Amino acid sequence: MRETNDKRKSLFWDCKNAYADKCEWVGNLTKVWKKAIEKETPRSDGRDVYTIYTVIKCKHFVPEEEKAVG
């Protein structure tokens, strides 16, 4: 199971499975992670709030391949 050390960056952004056909969270908003920081943030129009999840531990995490530099 992968866990990020950087609590500000979600594993989601570096996960090879972060596509609707590969991840239940992306496809159906079904929680799949083991640990996440949850933060409610007001919408800019002030009528409602939305929830941001920073995923820090997920057994489904597969890292993206490193991109060549240069």
Report yes or no: 18 and 2 within 8 Å, Cβ to Cβ.
no
pLDDT by residue for the chain (70 residues), tens only, comes to: 665 555 568 898 899 999 999 999 888 989 999 999 999 999 888 889 989 999 999 999 999 886 556 5
d(CA 13, CA 61) in angstroms, rounded, equals 10
